[in-house]
């Protein structure tokens, strides 16, 4: 059983922020369990204290089995990072309900499923930290990302409530609201884009693609830097309730203080044809 902090991270496919978070936790001396729906999507780690596991965050049985495996091996779980997430770009009225449900299953319900599984363990050991990876789009939505943004808005509220309700058990909750981070999200988003064959938005498709790629611009933060900063806060004596970082995160922080209608006007102008 490990005397080092034991960390369980979801959504760790190579090239994403989950993978970099695992590397950084391991570099800081933690015992790390990196998970993905298919373990083979997780490349080898330079650090030795990382075990790769297959985990379907949308399966009660899979979550229970992985959590049981970690606790039997280590005797505890100190940190849970709810990082797994998917998107479904495109006009909101073009979204098949099946795609909407898939996003909410992974981005919202899976977080509750993992949290429900680890909270009794953390409460029994008298401490723990839960890190939920949200998005600046969950606080100020943009066109063409309505499903993703609304799921991350739900996660923001969930994090706030957990922050309050888990205080009696000495469990910290850190909500991370990333801006642009260099990762696989644009590639995955393009593959999952939904535009109906008879869409009303034919002329808008280039703008939808522009929105998908916007998180990977020149001001996007490297995953290594993102991981370094998030892990440092997570392992601190008193983790904060909230942090935001990455490309455009400062701008979106300002947006929260400006009149909502004005902000929505600016964002619509940024991702719509100018006539």
- Residue ranges making up the domain that contains 97: 6-270
Number of domains in the chain: 1
99 is a domain residue: yes
170 is a domain residue: yes
Buried b (16+ CB within 10 A) or exposed e, 239-250: beeebbbbbbbe
pLDDT higher than threshold 70 for residue 57: yes
For 136-161, write each residue's pLDDT tens digit. Answer: 999 999 999 999 999 999 999 999 99
195 is a domain residue: yes
1 is a domain residue: no
pLDDT higher than threshold 90 for residue 47: no
Q: Hey, which residues does 11 pair with through a beta bridge?
A: none
Residue 124 phi, psi dihedral angles, 5° rounding: -65, -40
Q: How far apart are CA 135 and CA 153, in angstroms?
A: 8
247 is a domain residue: yes
44 is a domain residue: yes
Query: Which residue of the set 19, 33, 104, 148 is catalytic?
Result: 148
For 64-108, write each residue's pLDDT tens digit. Answer: 999 999 999 999 999 999 999 999 999 999 999 999 999 999 999
Residue 273: band (very low, low, confident or very high) from pLDDT cuts 50, 70, 90: confident
27 is a domain residue: yes
Q: Is 265 a catalytic residue?
A: no
- The CB-side HSE value for 208 (13 A sphere, CA atoms) comes to 23
Q: How far apart are CA 42 and CA 217, in angstroms?
A: 25
Is the pTM of the predicted complex or chain greater than 0.85? yes
Q: Give the pLDDT of residue 193.
A: 84
CATH number for 159:
3.40.50.720
Q: Give the pLDDT of residue 187.
A: 73
275 is a domain residue: no
Residue 192: band (very low, low, confident or very high) from pLDDT cuts 50, 70, 90: confident
Angle value at C-alpha 1, between 115 and 17, nearest 5 degrees: 45
């Amino acid at each position: 059983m490990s005397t080092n902090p034991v960390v369980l991270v979801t959504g760790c496919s190579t090239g994403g922020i989950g993978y970099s978070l695992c590397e950084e936790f391991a570099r800081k001396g933690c015992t790390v369990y990196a998970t993905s729906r298919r373990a083979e999507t997780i490349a080898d780690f330079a650090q030795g204290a990382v075990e790769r596991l297959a985990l379907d965050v949308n399966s009660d049985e899979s979550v229970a089995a992985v959590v049981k495996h970690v606790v039997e091996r280590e005797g505890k779980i100190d940190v849970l990072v709810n990082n797994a997430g998917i998107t479904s770009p495109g006009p909101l009225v073009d979204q098949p309900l099946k795609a909407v449900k898939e996003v909410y299953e992974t981005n919202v319900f899976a977080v509750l499923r993992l949290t429900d599984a680890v909270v009794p363990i953390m409460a029994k050991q008298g401490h723990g930290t839960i890190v939920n990876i949200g998005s600046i789009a969950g606080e100020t939505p943009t066109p063409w990302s309505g499903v993703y943004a609304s799921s991350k808005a739900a996660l923001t509220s969930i994090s706030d409530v957990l922050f309050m309700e888990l205080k009696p058990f000495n469990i910290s909750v850190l909500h991370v609201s990333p801006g642009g981070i260099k990762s696989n999200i644009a590639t995955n988003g393009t593959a999952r884009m939904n535009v109906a064959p008879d869409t009303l938005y034919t002329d808008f498709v280039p703008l939808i693609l522009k929105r998908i790629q916007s998180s990977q611009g020149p001001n996007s933060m490297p995953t290594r830097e993102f991981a370094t900063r998030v892990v440092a806060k997570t392992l601190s004596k008193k983790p904060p309730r909230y942090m935001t970082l990455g490309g455009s995160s400062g701008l979106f922080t300002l947006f929260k203080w400006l009149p909502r209608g004005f902000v929505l006007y600016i964002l619509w102008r940024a991702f719509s044809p100018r006539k």
